Structures are given as C-alpha cells and as structure tokens.
Amino acid sequence: MKEKIPEKTVSIIVPVYNAQNFLKKCVDSILTQTFHRLEVILVDDGAQDDSPRMCDAYTKQDSRVKVIHKPNGGLVSAWMAGVERSSGEYLMFVDSDDWIDACMVEELVKGASGETGEIVCCNFVIERPNGKEECRHELAPGVYEGKRLETEVKTELLGNERRTVSMSRCMKLFSRELITDNLQFCNPELRMGEDVIIVLSALCDCRRLVILKDALYYHYFYNPASMVHKYDPKMAEGIRGLNRTIRIILEAKKVENGKTQQERESIYLTMLSVKNELRGGKKGYAGRIAELCRREHMGDSLKQYDIRAQERANRMILWIMKRPDTLRCMAGKLAFSLYDRWMSGH
C-alpha cells in the first residue's frame, strides 16, 4: 500500500547573493524533486553578478518559481523576505551554493503528520574539496512528542559540544507557523549564529519532532574561500549579541533549564571566538584571547560546568581558555594553521 503524503504545499526559500557559479546546480536539484507541490522562492539579495538574470530565467522555465529582487541586506533579511512572500503550509530553506537529493522533499513530507507545530529533519553531507563527510544529528532517529519531546529534546538543545539537533535552518521541514510566529526574535543586523535564533525558537515551540534515519539528502558545499571561514574581527561582539538573544528566547519560551543551557552555550560560543583568533588573528591575538576569556569569566564557568571536549580541536581550545598565556596561544595558532591547510586540500 502506497504511503500517504499530506496534501500540502512546501515553500522552498533560497537566499541568493553572488551565486552564479552554484545557482544552477542548486535550483535544478529543487525543481527535479519527486514531490511536485512546491513553491520555490529565489531571493536576490542585491547580487552583483549574473545571479539576478539567472533567477528571472527560472520563472520562465517553471511556473512554481517566484523571484524577489531586493537591496542587499544580508542573509537574515533575504530569507525573511522569502518567508513573507511564501504561501506553503510547510517551509524549507536551501542555500544557493548547496544542493539536495531528488527525494528529499518527498521523504521529509512523508515524515510529517499533517498537523501544525512539527519539524522533520534529515541529515547532510559536507562536500569538501578533498572528500565528503557524512553528518547526522546527535539525537537518535525517531519521533519525539509529549513528555519525551520535553525531557529528551527541549532540555538539551544548547550547551553541548555537538548540538543534539543541528541549528541550521536547512535540512528541515517546518510547519509554517513555527517560523512566522518567531520572526519577532530575528534581527537582520545579527551576523553571528543567524540560524540559531529561528531554529531554537521553532524547536522550543514544536509539538512534534522527527529525526529521519540516515537520510543524507542535503549537500552542504564547504567553500574554503568563503568569508564564513575567514577571520572576523567583530566575532566576539557578534557572539555577545547572539548570547543576549538566546537568553531572551529561552526566557520567553519558559524552558525549564534555560539558564543552564544558555550559560553552557556561552562557553562553546566563546570557544568559536578563540578559534577565530587562532585561525586568523594577527598581531596581538594572544592578548585578545586573554581579554576575551577574562571578560566572559571563562575561568569560573569552566570550573562550574566542568566542560569536557571530545573533538581534538576543541580540547586544544579549552586547554588555552583555562590558561590563555602566550605560549599556549602560539601552539594553538600553529595547530590550526596546519589543520586548515589540510582541510583545504593544499
């Protein structure tokens, strides 16, 4: 007997900025989905290459495609504009340099019940120049509802070395209201952890969460040249803003152990700032790391929560954060330089 699929439309929102080299592969992978009740919204965020023309060409090729042209406002403003234009009962997000398997939408919709307040998650593949890496959610595959959702998921969303559920807005199918009802928390000016804000809000509100087994349907293109992987002198400031917003969300949603989750998450976010300095910081990076750890009270927090790391890179960072002197910082900088060269295939 053929499995029943909810008779609802899925809106797929694709923010587009200077993506002419990747856009065709991305959009073609969406338009060739085995699930056909799609609305595809391409949001041209003031691109300066051939992307806007390519977007317009797709509207002539397929009536399911809609295009928004807007001044550049950043990733959050782009996908928010797409959400406001969309009409589907379910929402999905795909980044313009990524692509998805032909079965992805159909398989995610199969996992849905058709009721409101649900999120269905697949897994993903990181596509690197020197190979692929399969990535799965830490949370075991299955359906989480009721008490199980509250105790096994919502109390463990943040504050772990590896998040139980990925905070990427991609590789997920959302009931529409989980996104639209939480746009109030989104800030287009936020440049750090943009996805965390909307996904955390949605997870706090969801009444049914599904983690598909295996389901490696989403392909994330790892571009070593991307700004995401370069030094950001404003990262520490951005992380403080992200931390404030996380605190606001967890308090607004009345998450049982929200304060503990936020404080533990603050440690892991500070680790990103330290990694940023080790990877790309120039003169004075050791002093900035020491000041960062002092300002964020890392000594006290690390003792209070007894944070341990499994990943080698994180063990190095924690070792530095416990005593951020010049020698440890120099050792960490050398280690990350060698690691990044290997990851980029050089």
Q: What percent of the chain is predicted at pLDDT more than 70? A: 95
What number is the average pLDDT over the span 37-50?
98
Are residues 198 and 176 in contact, defined by beta-carbon separation less than 8 angstroms?
Answer: no
DSSP letter at 184 equals G
User: For residue 1, what pLDDT is reported?
Assistant: 46
126-170 pLDDT, tens digit each = 998 888 999 999 999 999 999 999 999 999 999 999 999 999 999
Long-range contacts of 329-335 (CB under 8 A, 24+ apart): 329/277, 329/278, 329/285, 329/286, 329/289, 329/290, 330/286, 332/274, 332/278, 333/278, 333/279, 333/281, 333/285, 335/278
Tens digit of each residue's pLDDT (9 = 90 or more) over 96-110: 999 999 999 999 999
pLDDT band at residue 3 under the 50/70/90 scheme: low
Closest C-alpha to 111, from 41, 178, 198, 171: 171
pLDDT confidence of residue 230: 76
CA distance 67 to 341: 38
- Residue 65, pLDDT > 90, answer yes
> Do 45 and 16 form a contact (C-beta atoms < 8 A)?
yes
Residue range 162-212, pLDDT digits in tens: 999 999 999 999 999 999 999 999 988 887 889 999 999 999 999 999 999
User: In terms of Cα–Cα distance, which of 205, 202, 198 is closest to 245?
Assistant: 198
- State yes or no: pLDDT of 303 exceeds 60: yes
Share of the chain above pLDDT 90, in %: 83
SS3 (DSSP) at 202? helix
What 3-state DSSP class applies to 176? helix
Average predicted confidence (pLDDT) for the chain:
93
